[in-house]
Chain A
Amino acid sequence: MITLTDIGYAYPDAEHFALEKVDLHVEHGEILGVVGASGAGKTTLAKIIAGFIPHVDGGELTGTVVVDGADVAELSLSDAVSKVGLVIQNPFNQISGAKYTVRDEIAFGLENLGVPREEMVERVAAAADLLRISHLMDSSPYALSGGQQQLVAIASMVVLRTPVLVMDEPTSQLDPAGTRMVFDVLSALRDAGSTIVVLEHKVELLREHCDRVAVIAGETIVAVGEPREILADERMPEWGIGATRFTEAARAAAGRGVVAGGGTLPVSLDEAVAFFQEDVPA
């Protein structure tokens, strides 16, 4: 569904590359998590997949980005955005401000594209259902919590039926409740046919919800693979990414000889329980 080949990009007037020699392939219907330290290039990658680089940000983009069979850099911006929906970290700036109810807000994109009314009604209801915000349809978007606003922003993208959804740190400004709201809908979105790329710091949640995880460090993708293997990798600190305390505790316990160690370290709570129970019978 998404193939990046030998991508290189430098922002206009920048002294060095933001990303270099990036190759990535995302399968149809996959949820790919992307981790990396702040400033490593997550937002740059998100914008490249969504076509905002180079169309909005300018600069020099080398390599090819193919989404759903089309070369994104060759398309116009409006065609590019019909392939990839982008959700950013600030929920407030994604709300149009032109609409007074959540229902109208979600429909905004469809109105712009001239979609017939009966179809709009149906698509808006389906998107709200999927995001579990049907009970908020008549509320003002500005009366909602941050988490709810993000769900409205995601619904506003989902309603456009783009094959790919890219979410750039969608929970970074949210509290734990809001964060859970957003992560909880990822599988439903995937089951409804979206391919999702979610760029985040929250390792425990990425382990739970992603099919694969990629790591950005040193201006390129340094690893891609199965979530548990990647997120328990001993190079995580070097990459500037915080492993879960479960992983750290397991590594430290193995290091001090308290447990036998060996095998992949745990990332989630359940994996940690299994890990410590094997070696430390209660």
Chain B
Amino acid sequence: MASTLYMDRKSPVHRLNPVTKLVILITVIVIVFAIPFWWVAAGVVAVVIVPAAVVSRCGGRLARLGLTILLPIVVVLFIVQGLTFPGGRTALWEWGPLALTTEGLLFALGIGSRIVCLVLASILFVLTTHPGDLLSALTERGMSPKFSYIISSTLQLIPAFRDRADGILLAQQARGLAIGKGLRGRVGAMMPLLAPLVLGMFTDVEERATAMEARGFGSTARRTALTPVPDSTAQRIVRWSMPLVAAAAIVLPLVTGAL
């Protein structure tokens, strides 16, 4: 499906309950931010993310997406912190008034490693979790079905919305609207493009809402699900223990004075 990044594979990671994966993701984020040593983040990447990527057979895509997002961020981070870190004393390389300091680079390493871990974990989550399953699982646990509906339908309707916007642009151009000329910051010139889009949205929403009412969407009965999201006792245990791990990660450094 074009509007999500989900990759359909049959792997143990894909089969995990989405809430399990969500809880693990959040725990990972808490750990790397609570224990801010670069080797903790690197360790998580090596021990949790890379194996998961391999097992789920999404490694290639993860690497490509990760590189596209992270490379610019990391390069800029290293350059900026390397050159301007206030506590920087040990110069590795000098060029006039600018100096690349070890302290700066180490600082960048600390922040960068956490960002890398966070981004890779999030991307992997999205690649292995179907949005429909995630929303189903959350609804089962008490999230409002109306909220879940808004998210799912928005995702699926984005391509249609885009098509309609294209259609409107074509229709107005075919009546002589020259774009470029009209977009000189005048709201009036945008009307031929915006009005049909907004009005169309309202009409659709109204019609769809009525159609959904006709299919019992407003019902107060307890919802059931046709295709249940798989779960297991083992996963339940993992989900309950994750918050404890996260709590430990926060408390441990304070207690041992390692920070």
**A interface residue numbers (CB < 8 A to B):** 50, 52, 56, 77-78, 81-82, 85-86, 88, 90, 92-94, 96-100, 103-104, 107-117, 120-121, 124, 140, 142, 156-157, 160
Contacts and interface: CB of A to CB of B under 8 A. Distances in A.
Contacts of A121: 226
Contacts of A77: 213, 218
A111 B149 contact: no
B202 to A, nearest CB: 12
9 pairs of A and B residues whose beta carbons are closest in the complex = A97-B153, A109-B215, A114-B221, A112-B216, A107-B226, A93-B207, A98-B152, A113-B216, A100-B132
B207 A88 contact: yes
A173 B227 CA distance: 32
A115 B149 CA distance: 19
Contacts of A98: 148-149, 152-153, 156
B226 A104 contact: yes
A157 B153 CA distance: 19
Contacts of B68: none
A115 B226 CA distance: 9
Nearest to A77: B213
A96 B153 contact: yes
A157 B227 CA distance: 19
Interface in B216-255: 216-219, 221-228
19 contacts: A52-B210, A56-B210, A77-B213, A78-B213, A81-B213, A93-B211, A97-B152, A97-B154, A97-B156, A98-B152, A98-B156, A107-B226, A110-B226, A111-B224, A112-B215, A112-B223, A114-B221, A114-B222, A124-B226
B259 interface: no
Interface of B: 1, 130, 132, 145, 148-149, 152-154, 156-157, 159-160, 204, 207-208, 210-219, 221-228
B207 A90 contact: yes
Nearest to A124: B226
A15 B229 CA distance: 53
B224 A108 contact: no
A54 to B, nearest CB: 13
Nearest to A109: B215
A114 B219 contact: yes
A160 B216 contact: yes
A173 to B, nearest CB: 13
B207 A104 contact: no
Contact of A120 (B148, B210, B226): B226
Given A112-B221, A117-B228, 12 more contacts: A81-B213, A86-B211, A96-B212, A98-B148, A98-B153, A100-B1, A100-B130, A104-B132, A111-B223, A111-B226, A112-B216, A113-B219
Nearest to B217: A112
Contacts of A50: 214
A98 B214 CA distance: 15
Contacts of A111: 223-226
A77 B211 CA distance: 12
A196 B210 CA distance: 20
Contacts of B154: 97
Which of A115, A116, A121 gathers most chain B CB within 10 Å?
Answer: A115
A157 B226 CA distance: 16
Which of B154, B214, B225, B227 gathers most chain A CB within 10 Å?
Answer: B214
Given A100-B130, A142-B160, A117 B216 contact: no
Contacts of B222: 114
Nearest to B154: A97
A86 B211 CA distance: 8
A117 B132 contact: no
Contact of A160 (B156, B210, B215): B215
